[in-house]
Structure 1
């Protein structure tokens, strides 16, 4: 059994663009031709590969082919560049990565300038979930908290991102000054990035010993349920804390500047939480991925603990 490269590229286009019609326009063929190629590929594999939803998504059987299609496209493009010289415009190599929001807002974005001939598709997710996109083949590389390599990937430790718990001065006076921290945390409004974000809960547990469950069985949310705001953007998250909406954990480099300026108060002085970060990327002999990895490691060395 072998895979037809045209069928595989068509499958990749359907998943990337989310529909048979859009894939047809990109490939300059009819939607009927796209449908026929996908059906033929599914017959070869013996499994349904695409869920015909809006947008189209791969089935479990289709996920390995998403990654394979992306790898072939990357290596093919690099081989063409090496054979015919540097290409410009729409022929540039496209690289998809996923990064946690705080890294993207801080140290990671300048990394992309190290590859001026590459166009990037950047995804963002909670650092504990970024590897899911790598596992699914949606991205080629990820900043993640997962230290065990995803199948078919390499992993390198980058360092740790340090966070401080902060609140606006008025909020600190109202919720924390003169109060036991355990009691204050239970009542003070809290900010979270989204419902995947358990960082604040982990910090409270580390500082107060709340719940007391063994580490292996600890539910990061547990029974700790203060008033909670969800603000899913790094800059807006910090601004919401400055405005007094609640307390939250902010990257140390940002928090220190605001604390020194009197805009924020460290509500648990002497305490912090470190989030270890790793760089996982496809195990390919790719010049683009090697150059990107070197740039990521250099930036992380300067920015992370």
Structure 2
């Protein structure tokens, strides 16, 4: 059984940004905070903090911090000792949702002091952070729930293969000839982003030869408008560019629908239940 006073000392160092601030927050001496963390590390047989400025959690420390947050949420739901200001919700989501419809879902009127720590992973791989205990919920494209978890479908995000008119003219993509698409430069968000590969497999049975890796959703669109390459982009994010003619379909009529799912633990706190309902509502108005 873990002594939660030790976990609270570790959490205070991470949340306050240092040992001295944690000591002031907990009304302890700095030495007492340090001793509690050393005791925790001795019990576990490995470090929970990286002594940097500010201190950072190790992989184990992050999982323990996440566990403590879940305990705090359950206490808040039972109207026990949890302070709303102490509640931190860690979730991992795909970049395109974060850049379009998701932020509105994070505004919870019942929990105005709730804090979010959002990490971004490709929709095909984000679930691994939840499996490792690093986050409390995950928005991704995987329908199978984790052991001890549950999942709800949210809808699909529609992607289209787009480029600037000048790019299409430069690479002679009008009329669209699938056989030459793989020779044109392709924009890819990350190593895990396979949407462009799926597009080429669908229309030409091949893979891209030349790629640019651009890990920025906004930069991805700007690069396409500038003529650096073509790529798969969510309709939600490029409506204005399509209407203005800055971006056009490289294969008219083609679209790729990516399903999105919200993963959560079956032992769900009232805070996480409220968040799940808010996410579902926002998705129902934004996604197909």
* TM-score normalized by the length of structure 2: 0.84
Residue equivalent to 1:214:
none
Q: CA offset at residue 4 of structure 1?
A: 0.8
Residue equivalent to 2:8:
9
Q: Distance in 1 between matches of 2:247 and 2:263?
A: 34
Q: Unaligned stretches of 5+ in structure 1?
A: 212-223
Q: Does 1:99 align with 2:93?
A: yes
Q: 2:115 aligns with which of 93, 115, 120?
A: 120
Number of residue pairs aligned between Structure 1 and Structure 2: 283
Q: What do residues 201-251 of structure 1 show as CA deviations (whole Å, max 9, x unaligned)?
A: 22212221116xxxxxxxxxxxx43142x3322223212212222111111
Q: 3-state DSSP class of the match of 2:281?
A: helix
For the 8 Å contact 2:136–2:264, the answer to whether it is kept is yes
Q: Distance in 2 between matches of 1:5 and 1:78?
A: 18
Residue equivalent to 1:52:
50
Q: Distance in 2 between matches of 1:118 and 1:153?
A: 26
For the 8 Å contact 2:163–2:250, the answer to whether it is kept is yes
Q: 3-state DSSP class of the match of 2:101?
A: helix
1:70–1:136 distance in 2 versus 1, CA, 3 Å: farther
Q: 3-state DSSP class of the match of 1:114?
A: coil
Q: CA offset at residue 256 of structure 1?
A: 4.7
Q: Distance in 2 between matches of 1:225 and 1:129?
A: 24
Q: How does 1:1-305 map to 2 (within 5 A)?
A: 2-14=1-13, 23-24=22-23, 26-45=25-44, 47-50=45-48, 52=50, 54=52, 56-59=56-59, 64-79=63-78, 82=79, 91=85, 93-115=87-109, 117-121=112-116, 122-175=118-171, 176-178=173-175, 180-186=177-183, 188-210=184-206, 224-228=208-212, 230-305=213-288
For the 8 Å contact 2:10–2:37, the answer to whether it is kept is yes
Q: CA offset at residue 108 of structure 1?
A: 0.8
Q: Unaligned stretches of 5+ in structure 2?
A: none
Structure 1 segments, 4+ long, off by >6 Å, are none
Q: CA offset at residue 146 of structure 1?
A: 2.4
For the 8 Å contact 2:63–2:134, the answer to whether it is kept is no
Q: Distance in 1 between matches of 2:146 and 2:36?
A: 30
Q: CA offset at residue 262 of structure 1?
A: 1.5
Q: 3-state DSSP class of the match of 1:296?
A: helix
1:299–1:179 distance in 2 versus 1, CA, 3 Å: closer
After superposing the two structures, state which structure 1 stretch, 2-11 or 12-21, moved more: 12-21
Q: 3-state DSSP class of the match of 1:146?
A: coil
1:140–1:69 distance in 2 versus 1, CA, 3 Å: same
For the 8 Å contact 1:145–1:275, the answer to whether it is kept is yes
Q: Distance in 2 between matches of 1:83 and 1:25?
A: 23
